Amino acid sequence: MSTPKKKSSLSSSTSSSSSGSSSQNKQGGGIISKIISVVTNQNNVLPIALILFLGEIALNYLIVTKRAYTNIDWEAYMEQIDLFVNGERNYMKLEGGTGPVVYPAGYIYVYTALYWLTNLGQDIRVAQWIFVALYLTLTLVVFFIYNRSKSVPAYALTFLCISIRVHSIFSLRLFNDGIAMLLFYVALLLIINYRWSFGCLFFSLAVSIKMNVLLYAPALLLLLVQTFGFLGAIPKLVLCAVVQVVLAAPFLLYNPESYLNRAFEFSRQFLFKWTVNWRFIPEDIFLSKPFALGLLTIHLLLLVIFLLFKWTRPEGLFKSIRFGEWRNVGERKLNVRYMLLVMFTSNLIGVTFARSLHYQFYVWYYHTIPFLLWQTRLPVVVRVAIIGAIEYCWYKYPSTNLSSGLLLVCNLVIIFSLLFLSSINEKFVVDQKKKQK
């Protein structure tokens, strides 16, 4: 009589065990599901961004304390600033060990501050920590931009933090490119939050550090016209110009020709031996005017193609740029993803067809690459492979025919994928404010 009871007890125990196991499996599956949900979330990437940011703090500490600083331009920067501090206002005479000042006036003021903060440029370790702070600030701003875009999965933010070259540009090399890009990304964050006046202010400040930011200018002009109309865009453009004039005033008042020829020297040639791109081109062709003119022509042609067939396609060119709307236009709010796509694509085209790229120029577009790739229909594995290949090309020193050729191919793949394998057919005007009285 006891046997059935034992069987019943055993059956009950087995059932209970099975139920517990099933519950644990569901619980485990639920945790995995939540993790997957967090890392693939496009609408809120900040939880992953926080983890990456904490990792960046630790990584930058290790870089500064464990890796040797290498002087490339810092001493020259400080020599130039020393002349400025001691009263020199002729831009042609502001020179250092690696040559003259070839940046607008904002560079002078920023590096003058660094000059005083680092004991006349002598305390390199303090300078490194300042650049770590600048790097972390830039990273944080870029995270907020990606979060605002709501079009890139959280795990893709990892690719914003893995570059050996970009880390060294800040904390081990102290280049001004990083400062210019920090100001640009602050400007962009303001712009995509529709704070246009402050955005234009910071954009012009970024240009005053280094002119590469002008590669974004065609896109910014388009967005301004789409938002405000032709007449409405004029005050924003005037603001950008006024910033340049105010910053340059001490030099313009002393010798305007000297300042303009040095600060905005568009004809300046870079040495072939330092180039990351076009290494596979013979040096005599690389240095020739026809080659430079050809690159400029392709650059402008691609901008026109994107303008006509991608950026204004949903509404048509004339309607998109509000042609004919001259009075009482009012302000439109553009889709954030659209604004980022236009800005980043314009810059990528400029970088791809630049006459020469030096290693520190990587920071000009590094943080835009994941966003651009995730706007295409390329398979994820291809996107990741492109990121890895581009990192290899910028890490390889000195550059080779293979590395520079591969870099060109990767950049072109992104450009043409954006042209043919992406869509901005969505209605990018998301709001229409009341017309101004």
Q: Per-residue pLDDT tens for 291-327?
A: 999 999 999 999 999 999 999 887 777 677 776 565 5
The whole model's pTM is what? Answer: 0.91
Predicted pLDDT of residue 354: 96
Predicted pLDDT of residue 14: 52
User: Of 215, 216, 47, which Cα lies nearest the Cα of 147?
Assistant: 47
Predicted pLDDT of residue 323: 66
Number of helices (H), then strands (E), in the chain: 17, 4
Predicted pLDDT of residue 331: 82
Residues 6+ apart with CB under 8 A from 380: none
| Statement: residue 79 has pLDDT above 50 | yes
pLDDT in tens, 369-415: 999 999 999 999 999 999 999 999 999 999 999 999 999 999 999 99
CB 94 within 8 A of CB 251: no
Predicted pLDDT of residue 205: 99
C-alpha distances (whole Å) from 16 to each of 2, 20, 22, 24 are 21, 6, 10, 12
Task: Take residue 279 and report the two structure tokens written for it.
Answer: 């290494």
Specify the 3-state DSSP secondary structure of 100: strand
Band of residue 363 on the pLDDT scale cut at 50, 70, 90: very high
Q: Which DSSP category does 278 fall into?
A: S
| Statement: residue 270 has pLDDT above 60 | yes
Amino acid code (one letter) for 40? T
Q: Which DSSP category does 201 fall into?
A: H
- Name the least confident of 25-29, 245-249, 267-271, 310-314: 25-29
| Statement: residue 273 has pLDDT above 90 | no
Predicted pLDDT of residue 436: 41
pLDDT in tens, 202-211: 999 999 999 9
Q: Which DSSP category does 175 fall into?
A: -
pLDDT in tens, 199-244: 999 999 999 999 999 999 999 999 999 999 999 999 999 999 999 9
H or E element at residue 85: helix 74-85
Distance from C-alpha of 381 to C-alpha of 328, rounded to nearest angstrom: 49
Bridge partners (DSSP) listed for residue 100: 95
Predicted pLDDT of residue 260: 95
